Amino acid sequence: MKVLISVDMEGISGIVHPTETNPDHYDYERGRALMTAEANAAIAGVLDAEPEATVWVADAHGPFRNLLPEQLDRRVHLVRGRPRPLGMLGGLDEHTDAVLFVGYHARAGGGPAVLAHTMSDAILDVRVAGRSLGEIGLNAAMAGHWGVPVVLLSGDDAACAELGDLVPSAVTVTVKQALGQAAAVAPHPEKARERLRQAVTDAITRRAAVPPLALAGPLDVEVDLYGPYMVDLATLVPGVSRAAGGRTVTFTAADFADAYRLVTLLVQLATIKPG
């Protein structure tokens, strides 16, 4: 079997502040080490359940170059760098049997939640068929488009609740309790990793009981952007229209894969500053 582990950073136990997740800040190296160790715990859990599994790990935070390759379990395939097909789900294909979300965070507007956002600070909300989806929902539905279930998520309590609402039968592992955007209560990182490893083993063992999150097209998508100039750029994309209110753009996607690609493009366009 093939398992994809998508590893983000904000939901890692012990991490609460942007200085720990941003490559330009002083505490980032500590954050990278914590992220890599938690990824290794998840890998060990998969291989405890299925020793012959093929495990792919997608570095899914920021520049997608955070995990320390030389410290990662040598039995895995690491997907690293950007841009790349499927973004945070790099490595996902029709041969994948299960996806795990490790170190994930709640969507923008969710809270109290540690470092909550949706893809970037430029995105205030993404609604698909009227439902607000953050990175958890968008990535779970993208996996579901391929017929692949998300069987586990680790992160703070808000992130766990978010996946629980979308996929009630998935396993969730709370590695910290959010007190706010930059504060949490967490166990020692080694205890969090022990809990994660056991939960991953359980999730892989019972993966057949977890259905994919499938959203059938066509799908109406609304994206709320932070700045008016971001809307101006977004409307240059064929099929994207400005909605009433000045900060929202809309489009209709044939299926979820098209919706996911276009939302990802809008995130990148939003990084362009006015001349």
How many CB atoms sit inside 10 A of residue 216's CB? 9
Which residues, 6+ apart, have CB-to-CB distance to 251 below 8 Å? 221, 237, 239, 240, 241, 262
- Is 117 a residue of the active site? yes
Tokens of 71: 């410290």
Which residues, 6+ apart, have CB-to-CB distance to 250 below 8 Å? 220, 221, 222, 223, 240, 241, 243
SS3 188: coil
Tokens of 211: 């259905």
Write the DSSP symbol of residue 81.
-
Which candidate in 17, 95, 105, 117 is catalytic? 117
Which residues, 6+ apart, have CB-to-CB distance to 8 below 8 Å? 60, 61, 88, 101, 102, 103, 104, 105, 135, 155
Active site members: 117
